[in-house]
Amino acid sequence: MNVLVTCPPMLGMIDSFLPIFTRHGVQVTAPRVIQALSEAELIRLVPRHDGWIIGDDPATRDVFSAGKAGRLKAAVKWGIGVDNIDFAAARELGIPVSNTPLMFGREVADVAMSYVVALARETYAVHQGVRNGQWPKPRGISLAGRTMALVGFGDTGRNIARRAIASDMRVIVYDPAYSPDPGLPGLLASIWPSRLDEADFIVLTCSLNAGNHHMLDTAVLENVKNGVRVVNVARGPLIDEAVIAEALQTGKVHSVALDVFEVEPLPAESPLRRFERNIFGSHNGSNTEDAVVRASHRAIEILFGYLGVKLS
């Protein structure tokens, strides 16, 4: 039996997981993946395997069809986000697919709050200035008393809210499925994009779907507070990057911290690169040793279950 792994965090620690596969007579293909393989590469590779642990790759109808014509019996999406998976095609083809939810909300929340602090105090600009022989002292803003517009109230959103409350911030939650959490008192709830003019920070944590593509666009930005700071640890296409670049140019948006982008890796010609206060990640918010081990073991467990391999 053969399994293909295309998730970069899991691949980065693949030697830790190979003994599990070997012990159960399963061979692993572990290609070099920077962010995702192309559809053409997947159409070539997937049919050779019985199982597939998916990263952010385009798991499209054509890929699943090629897999079905070959050996593919089941797949697991490593992590939470599933916007890259054509579940309808997988169901039609009889290929079971699931994700690994509730694996790293705390880890992504840590990164999101580090971005909030860094944008508030411009710590990255200080760091870069000192490295360049300067001694900058930007006058930032305090978090206490500031308002965070928190988009998405799943595992990551709840963990961010907990950290924001600990920082004495006011939090407005945007999530159609929102229900009060007794452990998080004092949260406000609203319908996007009402009350967004109150926000000092907009933090995106929601999943990507057909209804929220470019949810942060020209019409929304016209009504935000001047100098708002934007953090995205969810999916790049939630933001219209061309519009954000224009808003950065005018000062409508003070700065952004983005762990994800519309095109990944971030193109060299992206206008976002022109603004020194911006902070960029590499779609790496969940990538800690602890979280990778936790999510990878869960992905293996689910996939082995689909393939009829009994974990011992």
Catalytic residues: 235, 264, 283
Kindly calculate the radius of gyration of the chain based on its CA atoms and give it in whole angstroms: 21
Distance CA 212, CA 75 (A): 26
HEC letters along 188-219: EEECCCCCHHHCCEEEECCCCCCCCCCCECHH
List the beta bridge partners of residue 4.
29, 52
Q: Contact 79/7 with Cβ under 8 angstroms?
A: yes
- Written as six digits, the tokens of 216 are 């942060």
End-to-end CA distance of the chain: 17
Q: Contact 103/77 with Cβ under 8 angstroms?
A: no
User: In 3D, which of 121, 113, 162 has the Cα closest to residue 255?
Assistant: 121
